[in-house]
């Protein structure tokens, strides 16, 4: 057998047992492989053109014990739901993506890939080829663990990826049905249901529109990437939620320039440049971004000063009518005005469950909107902010079936929803929020000088589920002065010849370099 763990040209087979090869009390007491472990092996093996032979030993009387019967039942449940992704499938363009793709697990003996610690970032692909000219190929994508978040992005299916296979004809979560999805250069993002359809792993059946698999050209790719690197000159800070780190942006900017220099080359030279550019883009996507979470600094609480209210939001006088829906008095609502009969008019405020919450959403009533375009429905405030680091936090009463194209945001101007991922100061997808889970969901951002900043929530309600909405019940705005200049001055005034000195952004001297973040070392800004 080959020594590398990769798809093989010829079909192959491996075998294992859920316990020992012969029935024994010792194996019973020690416990057998779980259905999760066996599904892990099976899915991985099939993606590499293999077959799994599984032994379940019998007792002396020819029967299975209770633990074996439980295992069989769990395997049966998963296979009945997801067997389409196993039977009759073949190796696809690539076997998988995720952290373990490059791991080496030799194929030389029984026990192939047993005990691999898969995560919700690992994917395995297979394809079932069309049987007739009228049929189409179906690609099956298995996420090896259920994601905690209710969205997932298949990077290999994105428009900029070498494995791009076209626009989506249909996508189905086996055991559930059709799911909301969005195809972008970065990948194919799918919306998972609130409840898992099984206890092991989700499988998606994907078909592509014939004739739409044209790969992106070098010029098109450059045009897409140029706006991404506009902040690589140092204007973006590493605190900005959702933004790639500054080094990643700078690296991508370098490759944008190199790609532009290749546009006058031959077809072959442009093709070679595209390969390099794609690899650079994938490296950029894998580079760490500033994740949502607790604020980097404790900061001053400016919620009331900046946002007037922290919870139980006030209504405009004309909507203080005892009806469920209304309009917030201290927030601007645009492109969202849906009459709802006796319940009032949806204009950004929802008193469901007795809490006056900020709200955007549709419930089979898109056609009733009477103001603007629902693709840019937003609730926002325009704030004049001093230089510093800001964190806006929200606690959600609900976030139901929101598409990936919906955000809590901060920006220097109002943007179209589809521009928020590229041009905003900070953003966080609303569908990452839990349902009344008591958690704060945060965006942090920094500005170097006093200026106007827009903060709020925005969604493309023209896309995605006909029934989607979110409600924000509590908000906070925190502030920390940006004092990097003081830190630089302090370091520069240190006598020459002394040991290395470290300062935080407030100008306070540190005993050693921080483990991560932005700090000052001998008068120079350092990002770690």
CATH number of the domain enclosing 399: 2.60.120.260
Residues 358 and 462 in one domain: yes
Total structural domains within the chain? 4
The C-alpha angle 192, 194, 197, rounded to 5 degrees, equals: 70
What secondary structure letter does DSSP report for 315?
Answer: B
- How many Å from the N-terminal Cα to the C-terminal Cα in the chain? 44
- Among 215, 220, 214, CA closest to 259: 220
pLDDT at 519: 59
Which residues lie closer than 8 Å to 375 by C-beta, 6 or more apart?
335, 416, 417, 460, 461, 462, 463
**What residues of the chain score a pLDDT lower than 50?**
1-3, 232-236, 484-498, 527-528
Residues 185 and 81 in one domain: yes
In a domain, 213, yes or no: no
In a domain, 169, yes or no: yes
Q: Are 65 and 27 in contact (CB under 8 A)?
A: no
In a domain, 25, yes or no: yes
Please say which residue of 185, 208, 231 terminates a domain: 208
Can you tell me the distance from the alpha carbon of 292 to that of 522, in angstroms, rounded to the nearest whole number? 30
> DSSP secondary structure string, 389-409?
EEEEEEEEEEEES--SSEEEE
Residues 45 and 149 in one domain: yes
The C-alpha angle 258, 263, 266, rounded to 5 degrees, equals: 115
Residues 476 and 489 in one domain: no
Residues 187 and 225 in one domain: no
Beta strands in 121-167 (DSSP E): 123-128, 138-143, 151-154
Residues 319 and 427 in one domain: yes
In a domain, 1, yes or no: no
Residues 451 and 509 in one domain: no
Residues 344 and 384 in one domain: yes
Can you tell me the distance from the alpha carbon of 349 to that of 316, in angstroms, rounded to the nearest whole number? 10
pLDDT at 374: 97
Please say which residue of 158, 184, 208 terminates a domain: 208
In a domain, 295, yes or no: no
CATH code for the domain in which residue 99 is found? 2.60.40.1180
Q: Is 12 exposed, middle or buried (0-12, 13-18, 19+ CB in 10 A)?
A: middle
Q: Are 450 and 386 in contact (CB under 8 A)?
A: yes
CA dihedral (300, 301, 307, 311) in degrees, to 10, reads 170
Can you tell me the distance from the alpha carbon of 138 to that of 126, in angstroms, rounded to the nearest whole number? 9
The C-alpha angle 273, 275, 280, rounded to 5 degrees, equals: 95
Q: Is 137 exposed, middle or buried (0-12, 13-18, 19+ CB in 10 A)?
A: middle
Residues 39 and 19 in one domain: yes
In a domain, 158, yes or no: yes
> DSSP secondary structure string, 12-72?
EEEEEESS-SS--HHHHHH-PPPHHHHHHHHHHHHHTTEEEEEE-PPPTTS---HHHHHHH
**The model scores a pTM over 0.75:** no
Taking each helix axis from N to C end, the angle separating 35-47 and 66-82, rounded to the nearest 10 degrees, works out to 40
Spell out the SS3 assignment of 405-473. CEEEEEECCCCCHHHHHHHCCEEEEHHHCCCCCCCCEEEEEEECCCEEEEEEEEECCCCCCCEEEEEEE
Domain that holds residue 320: 300-481
Residues 409 and 336 in one domain: yes
pLDDT tens digits for 15-65?
889 988 888 888 888 889 999 999 999 999 999 999 999 999 998 888 999
In a domain, 291, yes or no: no
Residues 27 and 175 in one domain: yes
Largest CA distance in the chain: 87
Residue 227 tokens read as 């706006």
Which residues lie closer than 8 Å to 419 by C-beta, 6 or more apart?
none
Please say which residue of 208, 227, 252 terminates a domain: 208
pLDDT tens digits for 350-376?
999 899 999 999 999 999 999 999 999
CA dihedral (137, 183, 215, 92) in degrees, to 10, reads -30
Label the pairing between strands 168-173 and 203-208: antiparallel
Cα separation values, 415 from 119, 369, 387, 498, 499, Å = 35, 20, 22, 49, 48
Q: What is the mean pLDDT of the chain?
A: 86
Can you tell me the distance from the alpha carbon of 202 to that of 200, in angstroms, rounded to the nearest whole number? 7
Q: Are 164 and 216 in contact (CB under 8 A)?
A: yes
Q: Are 7 and 90 in contact (CB under 8 A)?
A: no
pLDDT at 145: 95
Residues 331 and 363 in one domain: yes
In a domain, 271, yes or no: yes
């Amino acid at each position: 057998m080959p020594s590398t763990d990769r798809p093989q040209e010829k079909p192959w087979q491996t075998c294992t047992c859920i316990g020992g090869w012969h029935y024994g009390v010792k194996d019973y007491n020690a416990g057998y492989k779980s259905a999760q472990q066996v599904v892990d092996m099976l899915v991985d093996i099939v993606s590499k053109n293999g077959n799994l032979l599984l032994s379940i030993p019998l007792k002396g009387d020819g029967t299975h014990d209770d633990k074996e019967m439980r295992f069989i039942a769990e395997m049966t449940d998963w296979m009945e739901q997801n067997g389409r992704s196993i039977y009759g499938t073949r190796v696809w363009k690539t076997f998988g993506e995720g952290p373990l793709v490059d791991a080496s697990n030799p194929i030389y003996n029984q026990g192939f890939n047993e005990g691999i610690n898969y995560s919700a970032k690992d994917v395995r692909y297979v394809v079932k080829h069309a049987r007739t000219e009228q049929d189409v190929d179906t690609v099956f994508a298995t996420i090896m663990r259920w994601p905690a978040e209710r969205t997932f992005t298949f990077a290999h299916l994105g428009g900029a990826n070498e494995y791009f296979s076209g626009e989506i004809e249909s996508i189905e979560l086996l055991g559930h049905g059709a799911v909301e999805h969005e195809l972008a250069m970065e990948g194919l993002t799918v919306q998972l249901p609130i409840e898992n359809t099984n206890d092991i792993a989700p499988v998606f059946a994907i078909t592509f529109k014939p004739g739409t698999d044209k790969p992106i050209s070098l010029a098109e790719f450059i045009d897409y990437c140029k706006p991404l690197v506009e902040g690589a000159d140092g204007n973006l800070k590493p605190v900005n939620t959702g933004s790639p780190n500054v080094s990643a942006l700078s690296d991508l900017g370098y490759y944008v320039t190199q790609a532009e220099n290749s546009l006058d080359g031959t077809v072959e030279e442009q093709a070679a440049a595209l390969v390099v550019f794609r690899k650079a883009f994938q490296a950029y996507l894998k580079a760490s971004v500033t994740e949502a979470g607790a604020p980097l600094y404790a900061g001053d609480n400016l919620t009331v000063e900046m946002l007037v209210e922290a919870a139980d939001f006030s209504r405009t006088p004309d909507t203080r009518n005892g009806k469920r829906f209304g309009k917030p008095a201290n927030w601007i609502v645009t492109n969202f005005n849906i009459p709802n009969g006796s319940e009032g008019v949806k204009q950004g405020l929802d008193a469901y469950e007795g809490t006056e919450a900020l709200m955007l959403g549709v419930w089979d009533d898109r056609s009733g909107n009477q103001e603007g375009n629902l693709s840019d429905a937003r609730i926002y405030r325009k704030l004049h902010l001093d230089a510093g680091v800001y964190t806006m936090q929200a606690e959600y009463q609900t976030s139901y079936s929101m598409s990936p194209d919906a955000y809590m945001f901060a920006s220097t101007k109002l943007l179209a929803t589809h521009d928020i991922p590229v041009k905003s100061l900070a953003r966080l997808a609303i569908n990452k929020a839990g349902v009344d889970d008591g958690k704060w969901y945060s965006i942090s951002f920094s500005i170097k000088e006093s200026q106007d900043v827009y903060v709020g929530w925005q969604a493309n309600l023209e896309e995605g589920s006909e029934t989607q909405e979110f409600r924000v019940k509590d908000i906070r705005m925190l502030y920390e002065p940006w004092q990097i200049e003081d830190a630089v001055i302090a370091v520069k005034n240190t006598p020459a010849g002394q040991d290395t000195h470290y300062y935080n952004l407030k100008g306070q001297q540190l005993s050693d370099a921080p483990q991560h973040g932005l700090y000052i070392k001998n008068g120079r800004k350092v990002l770690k």
